[in-house]
Structure 1
């Protein structure tokens, strides 16, 4: 028995060493590639102007270019009269980040109630002076570390990965864009603007998070409820502290219903077994299943973990489209010309069962038509990965994929 246990321990130790070595090599190679590529202001990818559709008494606008989005967000903050709720996973100390900081401070100085949330871990590299605000701005810093980790209370350790802006409870924004200059022109992402009564969904998401995590000195935010019920629009929120993960269930339900097409765009695509099976079942019954992912993302380990699923997906009839020329960071899907989602959650474990996330679900043909148009436009910047090409990859690539499999639950 002791011999078997020793063998198991040796096997685990050797595999752990291999994981560290493979991960280190991949990151070194990726760092060298980035240095060779250098930094450039010229990033070209197909994009559309903001497009809009009515949904009941509200209007939905979709943004696929950061500069258009940030101009709209800053204009809303500049025109705020009563309150600004701003939540961002990453908020960089660069030209655009400084503009956002100046506008929220200016709003607070003219009497607007301003509440800001950012994730401390995601902004560790941002200098501390940038993260200081005057007392007129109420700031919640979602902590980077909690001692609950030592007691394995994982549900109390989730990152705040959400991106929400709500102004005067009349206009709201949600989607994949963080705040930073590179995101304005160099990344391909998707964000949604909601104007009208449906803004309540995003405001309620912000208020609930603030009230659940505020410190004693911070004010409680009041939400008076919503008199308009619109079943076609819902802001689903993952809340690990409550073990609540509706975004994953939303995806599974929608994919299972698909009869024509499932078009997904993901920055980091590491599906769990249930989502993988749902996609393969859909493709097996003749549904056109396509997934756009970056050919090379900003996280090399995520790329390699994602590639570990390509063989199953390609053999099962799922089309994998590799985005060229820019980092595609969108977290979106559109199904059957009726159902769509735009939000902050990636299809990976961290987003679907680990982090605080928010995804808008929209069941409307007009919005789905906009999403289809965006997906088709993005397809012009992709190349399709074929099973023949994938099957001919080098043995060392196959070895690396196999070694890294234990990291899937962590990412």
Structure 2
């Protein structure tokens, strides 16, 4: 049996480490409520809080910041290596004063310019998305970039694997980047097959440094495919048959991707280059988009993540919402907004803006669904129109601002996307495309049920308590 002095020493060590971790939390956690919650629990209950803090607590991906500096130096070399014609074509596409208010702060926020000469097309649901991706990849002659949060070793995943192997063996440079946590169930043999065929395959992981070894945060949630520097695909789909609507009980699956051609494709490659540099410590081979005119759309690429100097994703939502004059429609599988986004949503209602948010009727994560239900009740009481999509699970991430701007990508309306995940959105300015997005969302709203205050009030008391408890976990949901 342990002596009292040994037990006292162990307890003292725990409390000393807890105090040090609390000081770390105060210095690094970005939000005051989060810092208070972590610091209090680490000081008072270090035996229970230290391990969760190692796994979830850190809010900055510092190692990525250092890697980004080296990567940016290499990318500058690539830019300097452009021909005068390339630089001239790039400069000619830069839009210095976008007409759309929602895009004016984004170049300085992201460090990427707002660009003209683009064509963006909607890809609604999985079949249209993967048919387009596979067709483009099959025709690749130089470089293929593939990045997904989740890849399953199922029928769809094996189709992708076979296609990438075929292109690599044909002499195409193929990059395959996957998230180590999102793909935790992906067999090692899947990646070994890719490597054996000549595909450059890497896992995005936080396993750099001892403390990061325990991290489950800082997931790379981006989904991006780029073919020959000319065409890119961005959106909500991962790789798996559920994204084709073939896996109950969430089927049919509702999601949206976009196909992008034009000057913005280079910026999408730049975002990938940062992630690839972190995983492989090398800059991938990038191609300039073809110089010819492909469209009249203006686009702003918005990569966001925990290594940003500011909370780029949250500020992106704030900028989009506060710019709306008569409507802002948002679809997201999760509704767990931070205080800034929730405040600007309520202010938009007070300005007379038609604020609509579409969320799922079916849960894929029970805790998130419970917290979303409570936030939905608070939003409804503030005049925000909340809807639940009825046919199946809703996974798309779309924002429509007025009649001339829309954004589509990977970011959810939750704190995990705002502060913990690496995300990728594309903001577009084009009245015709915004009209297509509006038609798509109108069809989705027609299949939805509007949420009333009774959804929360009529819930059993234990369930309402559970919703409030779930809300306490909002900073990591």
Q: TM (normalized to structure 1)? A: 0.81
For residue 202 of structure 1, report the CA deviation from its aligned partner.
1.7
Please tell me whether the aligned partners of residues 325 and 381 of structure 1 are also in contact (alpha carbons under 8 angstroms). yes
Moved >3 Å (runs of 4+): 55-58, 144-152, 218-231, 242-245
Residue 158 (str. 1) matches residue 222 (str. 2): no
Which of 280, 284, 298 aligns to 1:214? It is 280
Q: Which moved more, 1:361-370 or 1:218-227?
A: 218-227
Look up the SS of the partner of 1:292 in the other structure: strand
Q: Does the C-alpha gap of structure 1 residues 284 and 381 become closer, same or farther in structure 2, counting only changes over 3 Å?
A: same
Report the counterpart of residue 143 of structure 1 in structure 2.
205
For residue 302 of structure 1, report the CA deviation from its aligned partner.
0.9
Equivalents in 2 of 1:74, 1:226: separation in Å?
A: 21
Which of 233, 241, 260 aligns to 1:173? It is 233
Equivalents in 1 of 2:458, 2:302: separation in Å?
A: 41
Correspondences of 1:99-138 after superposition (within 5 Å): 99-132=159-192, 133-135=194-196, 136-138=198-200
Q: Which moved more, 1:137-146 or 1:292-301?
A: 137-146
Q: Does the C-alpha gap of structure 1 residues 279 and 87 become closer, same or farther in structure 2, counting only changes over 3 Å?
A: same
Report the counterpart of residue 263 of structure 1 in structure 2.
329
Please tell me whether the aligned partners of residues 311 and 418 of structure 2 are also in contact (alpha carbons under 8 angstroms). yes
Q: Does the C-alpha gap of structure 1 residues 87 and 69 become closer, same or farther in structure 2, counting only changes over 3 Å?
A: same
Deviations 1:87-109 (CA, angstroms, capped at 9, x unpaired): 00001100010000000110000
Please tell me whether the aligned partners of residues 371 and 471 of structure 2 are also in contact (alpha carbons under 8 angstroms). yes
- Structural RMSD (CA): 2.8
Equivalents in 2 of 1:403, 1:129: separation in Å?
A: 41
Report the counterpart of residue 132 of structure 2 in structure 1.
72
Structure 2: runs of 5+ lacking an equivalent: 1-39, 50-114, 246-251
Q: Does the C-alpha gap of structure 1 residues 227 and 196 become closer, same or farther in structure 2, counting only changes over 3 Å?
A: closer
Q: TM (normalized to structure 2)? A: 0.70
Report the counterpart of residue 363 of structure 1 in structure 2.
429
| Largest Rg, 1 or 2 | 2
Equivalents in 1 of 2:362, 2:202: separation in Å?
A: 34
Which of 326, 341, 344 aligns to 1:278? It is 344
Equivalents in 1 of 2:391, 2:230: separation in Å?
A: 36
Report the counterpart of residue 41 of structure 1 in structure 2.
none
Deviations 1:121-162 (CA, angstroms, capped at 9, x unpaired): 11111222122223411112112645454699x8x9511110
Please tell me whether the aligned partners of residues 234 and 360 of structure 1 are also in contact (alpha carbons under 8 angstroms). yes
